[in-house]
Structure 1
């Protein structure tokens, strides 16, 4: 295991994001399909969807339970909506996977999990959505799409390193069966274990975030911004990383830039609003200026 490399301006300069200079269109900027949400959190996908667009993605489709789809479409008018059936628990039903086949085949990045709970059908739904890997498709798994994926290592590894997983310590414990105290005591080891097992880039979220890659590379970003410890903050991070991948950034580059942008946006919000009390929805509007400065 190599020593972690700090994500700083020098690292970012050495690993630039794809540019979109000259004539282009929204398809060339990348197409994101976002699957998640539930009747319990009908507006949660708004955070992830807006963040993907703020990170530069050109097109966005959001798929969620039918009861939330109309309102969510009004909240994010830039996105197309796909209304899916819900189960008795208010979560996306397994039958919804078949309704997304065409959208997934035409997108560049598939984001699954924000706003979802780890219900009975979650793992089956994730497996069905990931069942057709292809070279041009990158994937981001967040929240319940991670914590319920303990038996999906072969399915996720079938995407051959094009997956990013963004667990916090509790989700990492649920995924691996390792006690949360052990994850917190040795986050580098836990992240590398999952990165190699699932052939994925792992973003283990905390005040000291670790990014682990299947080849053993470790990256680190530390933040003292306590205001980022708020509901929806992780949903924003998922959207930023997903949007950067849709633009063509490799998973490791997108993950590192996403973590940095998210952390720096938190710092800006803290300086302008206050160290705590700013809202997750106030982070995405700060992303474009941070990208411009880089």
Structure 2
């Protein structure tokens, strides 16, 4: 993959516009198809040198054209190849028709394919352009291939996956490998698409980067340091703890203090100059027994908080981990409406009966970060969460606009969205990050970055990335305490 394009994610519509613009610029579109098909054939031979038979499945569009080229190259290379086509190949048009004409193999209708031991399936049925559920005959073949346990090499995207959302449209191949061209698509990174793609390779078929950049909206990208490193605070020799930010984390009652401590330690490790846990008076002793570098301040009710907030150095807060659900949480959030706030867990659930009450508090420049998992998202945005027409990125963006907040829509494919329409898909989180307390650590990291002056969206995105990196350092079997200990500043 071209380094210049490595961060871009193009939707299927944007990639179609790239293809059209490339053709309009005088680039031979069939030459691009030839290179794509040749790359697929080369990948098949490299990955499956011992295949007894390559089974090439050709669809009715340009993805099928790529497959016909691949089949031709495999046959010319002496590999055993059979071909099955969807719909009437005589109705192919343009480059796909030319690719079919250049392939000497006589194909059979798709429904006649019966898997055999030693088969390797090359999937060129639909690619990323599918916008409806797969037909019944395709579903039947997908089921037969899965039952036989055959390896699948997908061209562009496993057929049955939505290239924009990563959703399964009725049924989809589970590929062991996927080869795509020039850039990735959101469906390569979003679940379950990421799992169904297997190992992904991006092959440069020769479309100039300037054409791709001209058609790329840049709205959706992978969450990488390039997306936010430009706003990181410069390191200064002459500084002090308040210049690096003061983060406050609210603690729950005496028997629910651990979550706040993990958030606080994580915020300190992420670079905040100092961190204070604000706890009920009855929980001070429980917290003090486990803390050294983190300070403590007694806060029992909203009146105590209002008095404390006369100190204008207090600008950044985390509320939610272990805090408890209810009116007290809502009152604290109301007091913090003019400050920067990471609202997590119990803090989010406290507004489930009237989410708009929360949203109305945080107008103007975004300063609120919400970190919902699937259930919390549905409680705060029930209509958006239940809209099956929307993918995860679309849902996160709609929520960000409504709440005027940076949204961290958590999961294996965490999406970070901004009210201005930017969205990032995170990919560096290992599976073992799914453990109790992991979200408390994430909230603290984001709070620590907010305290250092990062804007809400960039703090959220960088925090999610740091969270994943810490998990890799901690290794399999980590606990949340170990995860927090492995957080490093940017």
What is the root-mean-square deviation of aligned Cα atoms in Å? 2.4
Do the aligned residues in 2 keep the contact of 1:109 with 1:138 (CA within 8 Å)? yes
1:253-272 matches, within 5 Å, as 253-270=458-475
Structure-2 residue corresponding to 1:216 = 421
TM-score (normalised: structure 1): 0.83
Do the aligned residues in 2 keep the contact of 1:20 with 1:29 (CA within 8 Å)? no
Q: Distance in 1 between matches of 2:322 and 2:340?
A: 20
Q: Distance in 2 between matches of 1:127 and 1:97?
A: 11
Q: Larger C-alpha radius of gyration, 1 or 2?
A: 2
Structure-1 residue corresponding to 2:278 = 63
Do the aligned residues in 1 keep the contact of 2:429 with 2:467 (CA within 8 Å)? no
Decide whether aligned partners of structure 1 residues 184 and 33 sit closer, same or farther in structure 2, where only a CA change above 3 A counts. Answer: farther
Q: 2:287 aligns with which of 72, 76, 82?
A: 72
Question: Mind listing any 5+ residue stretches in structure 1 that lack a counterpart?
Answer: 86-92
Alpha-carbon deviation of 1:12? 4.8
The one of the two structures with greater contact order (alpha-carbon pairs below 8 A, sep at least 6) is 1
Do the aligned residues in 2 keep the contact of 1:169 with 1:183 (CA within 8 Å)? no
Please state if 1:286 is matched with 2:486.
yes
Question: Mind listing any 5+ residue stretches in structure 2 that lack a counterpart?
Answer: 1-216
Alpha-carbon deviation of 1:120? 4.1
Do the aligned residues in 2 keep the contact of 1:113 with 1:143 (CA within 8 Å)? yes
Please state if 1:147 is matched with 2:349.
yes
Alpha-carbon deviation of 1:66? 2.2
Alpha-carbon deviation of 1:253? 1.5
Q: Distance in 2 between matches of 1:263 and 1:184?
A: 29
Structure-2 residue corresponding to 1:226 = 431
Please state if 1:119 is matched with 2:119.
no
1:102-181 matches, within 5 Å, as 102-103=310-311, 105-130=312-337, 133=338, 137-149=339-351, 150=355, 151-157=357-363, 160-178=365-383
Alpha-carbon deviation of 1:286? 1.9
Superposed CA deviations along residues 188-222 of structure 1, whole A, max 9, x for unmatched, are: 22222221112111111111010110111111102
Q: Distance in 2 between matches of 1:218 and 1:78?
A: 35
Q: Distance in 2 between matches of 1:224 and 1:238?
A: 15
